[in-house]
Structure 1
Amino acid sequence: MATVAARIVPSGIRAQAATGLTLAAAVCAGWLALHVAGMFLVEVRWATLPLVLAMALLQCWLSVGLFIVAHDAMHGSLAPGRPRLNGAIGGALLFLYAGFAWKRMRAAHFEHHRAPGSADDPDFDADHPRSAVRWYVTFLRRYFGWPSMLYILLLVGTYQYGFGVPLANILLLYALPAIGSSMQLFYFGTYRPHRHEHAEGSDPAFADRHNARSEGFGPLVSLATCFHFGYHHEHHLNPATPWWALPASRRAALNEARP
């Protein structure tokens, strides 16, 4: 039996890595294709505005996907047992997303898991646990520093002055999706799961020390909102579960809770 189990586990790990890396490649390829098209192929004018806005909306969602893939890499669930590959992919995607540093973001995320929804949680705003706007501002101040600003200025400057990309393309097909994705990640991936619904004391909406709740969304809405990160309690219970497996974890939790 031990020999059989030893064979099954590596097989499962390989399958998880194959699935995760394939989906990651699809997300990255989609993001890069839309980004190149938005900067160099699409002309922004009134006649093309519906197409441009549709592209911006899709690029916003794919930008969320970039971050979620990097998040899986932080937990080692993108390619289990391959820390260097996780670090290389996660670091590249975080830098591509907003010039973020891999080690700093990874350390901060592990602090979040050690003390979720508390004053020691870098993702949490203990002074405004019920205000999405104030919490979002705090969130930006903590994570969006001068390296990210420098990265964006250099990228935008290169596009505009080096390649002659029109400002309208940069604003609508780079800046708008980037800002929108940060709001989407914050609202569905941080604020809604960890927000307090009561002014003082412990929140009865939280089931345990993870101070997290899961959405009641179906799989399609869950995928559209934040790549299933709304099933947040399940993520905190088992951080090694990849994003694409969270719906199954959520179904299992609901079935277990039924009398």
Structure 2
Amino acid sequence: MRLFFQKHTGIIIAAAILLAWGSVLWFLLHWQVSFWSPLTYLAVLVMTHLYTGLFITAHDAMHGVVAPGNKKLNTIIGTITAGLFAFNYYGRLYPKHHLHHRHVATDQDPDYHGGNFFLWFFNFARQYITIIQMILMGAAYNLLQLWFPKENIILFWMVPAILATFQLFYFGTYLPHRGEHEPDNRHKSSTQGRNHLWAFISCYFFGYHYEHHDKPYLPWWKLYQEKDRLVKDR
């Protein structure tokens, strides 16, 4: 059993995130919303975190580390998790993300913009949000209204996807790549201070961003180990 888990850890973790996202969303779509209850806003944050997990899983699939050795399954998982995150298209994300790794913080990097936070986010969103996505989101919203209350759909399906987009951008793109980097920083990436709990909550350890660029073959759930290694070696 232990050997099986070690061999298929990426798939098991991806399945757990998918199951958690789907089951929590299903529960919340049926939940009686009270705007006076702090639990409502806590639920929004939980869904935001799970949405971020979907995208991080799709991201790991782009690096082939969700199902190593099984390219087809890896692509299927990446396509599903990207699609569930506001109908992102894995086939479009894949080449852009690898351009980011090859040309980090240059004019050829689709994730990079030298402007302020808002201009950078606008440029980032323009790279990834498409008209087709907006149409699909609108169609899905209208379909969901046939079964679930509008406020539940907005609070637990739409708002978390928007918040997770900001979360991914802020912790996984803007903070690591903003400003000037030392000439010997070949990845042009900074990294969060060592705090594994905050690193997980904020963006599934992707605040350890230099570590990711240095070893893109590590899945998100091993980045904290690389952080520990680098801190220990200093």
Q: What TM-score, normalized by structure 1, do the two folds share?
A: 0.85
Q: Give the Å deviation of 1:217.
A: 3.8
Matches within 5 A, 1:82-231: 82-126=70-114, 128=115, 131-160=116-145, 162-163=146-147, 165-196=148-179, 203-205=180-182, 207-231=184-208
Structure 1 range deviating more: 205-214 or 230-239: 205-214
Q: Give the Å deviation of 1:60.
A: 0.2
Q: Distance in 2 between matches of 1:36 and 1:148?
A: 22
Q: Give the Å deviation of 1:207.
A: 4.3
Per-residue CA shift, 1:190-217, capped at 9, x if unaligned?
0001111xxxxxx245642211111104
Is 1:21 the counterpart of 2:6 in the alignment? no
Q: Secondary structure at the match of 1:61?
A: helix
Conserved? CA contact 2:64–2:71, under 8 Å:
yes
Q: Distance in 1 between matches of 2:181 and 2:128?
A: 29
Q: Secondary structure at the match of 1:248?
A: helix
1:87 partner letter:
T
1:125 partner letter:
H
Equivalenced residue count is: 233
Conserved? CA contact 2:21–2:47, under 8 Å:
yes
Identity of aligned residues (%): 35
Q: 1:20 to 1:46 in 2, by over 3 A?
A: same
Where has structure 1 moved over 3 Å in runs of 4 or more? 14-17, 204-207
Is 1:64 the counterpart of 2:32 in the alignment? no
Q: Give the Å deviation of 1:81.
A: 1.1
Q: Give the Å deviation of 1:220.
A: 0.7
Q: Secondary structure at the match of 1:60?
A: helix
Q: Secondary structure at the match of 2:190?
A: coil
Q: Give the Å deviation of 1:36.
A: 0.8
Q: Give the Å deviation of 1:244.
A: 0.4
Conserved? CA contact 2:181–2:188, under 8 Å:
no
RMSD after superposition: 1.7
Q: Distance in 1 between matches of 2:5 and 2:34?
A: 46
**Partner residue of 1:80 out of 61, 68, 82:** 68
Q: Distance in 2 between matches of 1:56 and 1:98?
A: 16
Q: Distance in 2 between matches of 1:46 and 1:214?
A: 37
